[in-house]
Structure 1
């Protein structure tokens, strides 16, 4: 430990800190409604002495490097003073709960109530304002009763956030929304309950200009539209955070500990320590990285390495936590547990990759820090200006309120979610699921598409590709004999061979030789099926030798078949390339995109698949963390990378790439980490998805430009007193209508990819 000193924090508390030792602390942060909130919390934390902090708005996690002696409660207090809540968390672990989903459900209830009340409120407000003769006794109370639940209860999340920000001397978009809603409501109450409601103007335009300033429908409309935007945003963030939750759910929760006397004890995985021995049975997940000390079994490694074939392990072999035992019983000695396991490293990779993406904040969040205070200043100056000009208090308040109302980001709240909704609907028709908009900013500049192999370019299912029979033997007979013996085995190659010849004789005296092959008696003949080195001990003919060389040059697995001591044939097993792969790659090349095959499989298999589909660049034998390194290297070269994958091992790379694209039949983790999910198992949707993503991003940008442009143009008109409340409400409605209409254009997006 380093020397310890006493440091005075902003809170006025003496906190012992270590000047030499530093610690990495993580906090779960709640109450952040936009990226500017994350930036404010990050700034507050970085003001502490010797503290470096980074706040991830997407995962709601603050990662802090601080002196080793600092108390977590001090860090949490700083976060609370910045307007949010925080609690300590263990580094490298993922949240099981989903706060964004809970928030979305709460918003949905408020949105439903607000929308139901808004429709009659808007109709009555317009009717009473323009046609005073329709008013009846108590009409004011009817409007108030309809508006109160909307502007008070439904809009409460905005009011609560605005109050919290005000207590800490800050302002956000919620402040503007809250003040606009409350100001419109208060002025409406004053208007409808005042004694004079006579409208003397004649003609439609004169009636509109001279009508009463009833703002109830405007206040309710702002509430409904912004709630809708926040609801869809919460749903999107819930999807974004599900990658870490999927990883957490995948890990083993309990482990069977083997005691010294040979008895077994089931304990939580958290209590497992290094050098503990634990038992893993078929179908169970290995709880920690370690060494096999007893037993033999086939282990599904695809989750961690991307290999299509299960790997058979024996005493002395290493196993990885998070993989699944398919057959046999293993006794494993734990070598790495908890945060030190490879599985925990995977969680950290996904989390860190998502944190990199969160740095690209939306345009609305980037300008809100300037936009909100500017609107308040303009509204105040408007009121003062009218008073100095002798316009009277009513005119001053009316003009200032018009500025607040017209500046409320109604269209701004719809700009992104409506485009995403329409694009998602159109994408579903095309077999594409767009999950979020942050990474879509890079789609127009994507110049490199990286493909995983197993399960992405290939089907991920082993099949018999060729059968070579020795002279005097029939290929079908050789395959039937091999299938009869392999039917008793659980090995992936055995399953492929037995499935290729469903009608075969029964095997007797079956035996499995680990690492070599299987043997048995079929129809009175001794049959052995296994690796070339095992069968070749009795000699191979040139025919079988050539068959082996040809198959292995294609990256296929070859087993030989021996009957009564004589080799009689060779069976080649391969992972079939998808029919759509070559067309998809050709289309990408036609658009001028660079393609790369990135896989954990061996170089021979990867090269063979790449040659089939037309990919020139191959990077093989790469582990999950290595895939992230490759993606980062490509980006450092100035490339804008789209990653296409399907496995758990692809999750970090999908999250790290500028655009992650997951095959819909892949694992939940890959689908959760990606930005675009290809629902149909058809790779021709890759170029189509890139086009749809780019079109969606263009639409969002146009919507945002219109929303901000509308405010910039409308605020001076409102400040000049030229906007009657009804006209302001109509302008706001038109702005929203434009944003929605522009988004609906995505329904006509063509499924035919266009060349550049």
Structure 2
């Protein structure tokens, strides 16, 4: 199957999205999800089905569909200057005098009603045209939408007023009326209802469109940060070309202040790179030859020459954008229930409005009063807010997450975070950096620390072993290394060579083969007890000292473990290392439950064992050996510094290599889910509470229209609060 994304036009409410989704899903083998907030449809097409067929189905349903415009989202028209804004402005200018004339008897001059009729007619015909058109298209396809309710309500109020003006006594000079906000006043003209309902609904749609655009601002900003052109080194000279022309393997230049054009590896130069756009980190990171850089980040220091390793859709920034968009197109379980409810809600409301009209007529109410109450029922019932509850919260939450270096794959991941009570932490590369480092230096009596580092660093500088590289790097940062010759390595034992014409050996004490003084023996024991790798160094047959190397714990890991506990999660350290090393790391970060010496294939079994005990398990990992456990867990959190396999298996991805980001991810996910649930509650509560009030004749259609518009704006505004998440 192939997945395509379609831009949908003409949707005015969640019912429209539901109808399109149903039509697409009726195609053989097609799976579709339509998002009203993003105005996009994600469609899975089976082999042999062309995208043109899906577009044709959408168009037959009464809407437009097309492949997304390649123009970046930031270039799209702003709703402030759109046709909707102009339609609202004109309707408001015409509708306000109608409301004032109808409400204030002192303003009602002779034949004022005819001026009100003249001002209302363009509002009802032109201003409300989007509602009438959508209602007509729905009726033509045998469906009723929220626009059907609005169109019928406005048309009924206007038609009743026209009948009273032309065929009743309302057109007579000297006619006066007053507006009652608590139900119908029993007056014969309802022009203010037709005009003001239209204005309020247009205002709600306009504010909703602006808010929806703001809710997607984080993703648009993320996708717009890429460089537009780049200086490529070709045939010995620098050539400025569009980024689209850059190819994998080519060398390009990044000057101070420029944006890194694409993912690559630094070949020349050293600089500080601002990663905030990708990871959310505010502190620039130092890079040099051999280090990787990410496209979209900013060079804050010196000139760099970089070899492109990924371009176009394969870059990390592009993958982040895709993951965020995919998450925003999903639906939480609560929203799927709301969609089913809203799908049958409109026909039920139409029947309810008709029953209300008949009921009031049978009770002896005048036709005009009964009709006004029915109109209030039609207007107040529009469940627009239901359709916005999940999409807007997802738009804002996932967009904010992307800014902070947290990628959420979809609503299912959000729902999982609410239930998780146990978090399993992989040690290497997750709690620790995954890189060996020199952590302790113990020279023998009469030997300076500098001399020990000079000799050991020079010898290990020729080693390819991770322990040797760690010693060499630690020594090089503090002393100047002399030359070495005659290097010979013994696998699993140590390395020997000649430094400044003196034979030197470094490795396991038994292999080094010299007498070990008591102080160095104690240092060896202490290092091994702490789970570190201890290296004995000897020169000329005499012990010079002990060096301890370890996979260093991330600075943030202890705070992260405390953060997990604060969220009600029980941390478990899971590692293939020996018990002593694992316990040392666990004690450092504050984890009590340790499972050591676990083979990669056993990690899944341990996760399942926890699940069988009734625990809801999250796994945080970064390597290929963590992928199966990430996929098995109720919630998989992949460190973005890890392998692509681990990232694909995770539900949440942390772009920055910082375990506190996992705490932030859980917090953000829970906050987003809470916002979705809050939105749905208030949307449902609004309809449930308002309908009986309107049916009882206690709500004027004007007030109903204002309340309906406010409910949608409230839901979107509530979602926008997620932008302030820290």
TM-score class normalised by the smaller sequence: 0.5 to 0.7
Using the TM superposition, give the Cα deviation of residue 467 of structure 1 relative to its aligned residue in structure 2, in angstroms: 1.8
* Residue equivalent to 1:131: 104
- 1:711 aligns to 2:692 (yes or no): no
1:369, distance to aligned residue in structure 2 (A): 0.2
1:609 equivalenced with 2:609 (yes/no): no
Partner of 1:221: 200
Listed one character per residue, the Cα deviations across residues 547-581 of structure 1 (whole Å, up to 9, x for unaligned) are 67865775656677676797734444445435664
The answer to whether the 8 Å contact 2:95/2:120 transfers is no
**Aligned residue in 2 for 1:307:** none
- CA shift for structure 1 position 30: 2.8
Query: Does structure 1 retain, via aligned residues, the 8 Å contact 2:487–2:498?
Result: no
Structure-1 separation of matches of 2:165 and 2:532:
81
Match of 1:63 in 2: 44
1:28 matched to 2:1: no
Whole-angstrom distance in 2 between the partners of 1:650 and 1:177: 54
Decide whether aligned partners of structure 1 residues 607 and 707 sit closer, same or farther in structure 2, where only a CA change above 3 A counts.
same
Kindly report which structure 2 residues correspond to 1:396-415, keeping only aligned pairs within 5 A, or say none. Answer: 396-409=370-383
Of 724, 733, 750 in structure 1, the residue corresponding to residue 700 of structure 2 is 724
**Closer, same or farther: CA 714–606 of 1 in aligned 2, 3 Å:** same
Instruction: Give 1:640-719 correspondences, 5 Å limit.
Output: 640-642=616-618, 683=660, 686=663, 690=667, 697=673, 701=677, 703-719=679-695
Find the partner of 1:366 among 336, 340, 345. 340
Structure 1 unpaired stretches of 5+: 1-23, 90-94, 258-265, 289-302, 304-309, 314-320, 752-756
Whether the 8 Å contact between 2:134 and 2:148 is mirrored in structure 1 is yes
Deviation at 1:716, TM superposition (A): 3.9
Q: Secondary structure at the match of 1:379?
A: helix
Paired residues for 1:87-106 under 5 Å: 105-106=78-79
- 1:695 and 1:556, CA in 2 relative to 1: closer, same or farther beyond 3 A? same
SS in 2 for 1:29: strand
2:398/2:407 contact within 8 Å kept: yes
Q: Does 1:53 align with 2:31?
A: yes
Partner of 2:442: 468
Deviations along 1:57-106, whole A, 9 cap, x unmatched?
59843224x4x5555544553454456666789xxxxx98766x677954
Query: How big is the shift at 1:131?
Result: 1.6
Give the secondary structure class of the aligned counterpart of 1:26. strand
Q: Is the 8 A contact 1:422 1:747 kept in 2?
A: yes
SS of the residue corresponding to residue 31 of structure 1 reads strand
- In the alignment, structure 2 segments of 5+ residues that lack a partner are 235-240, 255-259, 265-277, 279-286, 296-303
Number of aligned residues? 664
Give the whole-Å Cα distance in 1 for the aligned partners of 2:115 and 2:484. Answer: 87
Q: CA deviation at 1:378?
A: 2.5
**Residue 294 (structure 1) aligns with:** none
Alignment deviations for residues 491-549 of structure 1 (CA, whole Å, 9 cap, x no partner): 99899768867875544658999999999999x577989x848x997546658788678
Question: How far is 1:398 from its partner?
Answer: 2.3
Deviation digits for residues 353-411 of structure 1, max 9, x if unmatched?
98886666355323110112222232344445566777565335423321222123466
CA distance in 1, matches of 2:21, 2:382: 27
Q: Distance in 1 between matches of 2:305 and 2:660?
A: 37
Rounded to whole Å, the distance in 2 between the matches of 1:577 and 1:183 is 71
Label 1:740 to 1:254 Cα distance change in 2 as closer, same or farther (>3 A).
closer
How big is the alpha-carbon RMSD for the aligned residues of Structure 1 and Structure 2?
7.6
Equivalent residue number for residue 142 of structure 2: 169
> Could you say what secondary structure the match of 2:349 adopts?
helix
Map of 1:737-748 to 2, 5 A cutoff?
A: none
The answer (yes or no) to whether the contact 1:544–1:570 under 8 Å persists in 2 is yes
- For the residues of structure 2 that align with 1:412 and 1:549, how far apart are their CA atoms? 65
Per the alignment, do residues 507 and 282 of structure 1 end up closer, same or farther by CA in structure 2, a change over 3 Å counting? Answer: farther
> What is the CA–CA distance in structure 2 between the aligned matches of 1:638 and 1:514, rounded to whole Å?
54
| 8 Å CA contact 1:415, 1:739 repeated in 2 | yes
2:257 equivalent in structure 1: none
Instruction: Write the mapping of 1:530-679 to structure 2, written as runs, cut at 5 A.
Output: 532=507, 539=513, 568-578=544-554, 581-582=557-558, 584-585=560-561, 588-589=564-565, 593-597=569-573, 608-613=584-589, 614=591, 616=593, 640-642=616-618
Displacement after TM superposition at 1:485 (Å):
8.6
Distance change >3 Å, CA 331–CA 146, structure 1 → 2: closer
1:477-488 to structure 2, matched below 5 A, reads 477-479=451-453
Give me the whole-angstrom Cα distance separating, in 2, the residues matched to 1:647 and 1:441: 25
Contact (CA 8 Å) 2:397, 2:672: kept in 1 or not?
A: yes
SS at match of 2:699: coil
2: distance between equivalents of 1:156 and 1:236? 27
Which structure has the greater CA radius of gyration? 2
* Distance in 2 of aligned mates of 1:621 and 1:149: 72
Displacement after TM superposition at 1:463 (Å): 5.1
TM-score by length of 2: 0.60
The TM-score normalised by the length of structure 1 is 0.59
Using the alignment, how far apart are the partners of 2:129 and 2:487 within structure 1?
A: 69
Are residues 201 and 331 of structure 1, via their aligned partners in 2, closer, same or farther at CA, if it must alter by over 3 Å?
closer
- Distance of aligned partners of 1:485 and 1:425 in 2 relative to their CA distance in 1, 3 Å threshold: same
Native 8 Å contact 2:14 2:388 kept in 1: no
What is the alpha-carbon distance in structure 2 between the residues aligned to residue 492 and residue 726 of structure 1? 75
Change (3 A) 1:503 1:361: closer
Contact 2:438 2:550 in 1 (8 A): yes
- Cα offset for 1:610? 3.9
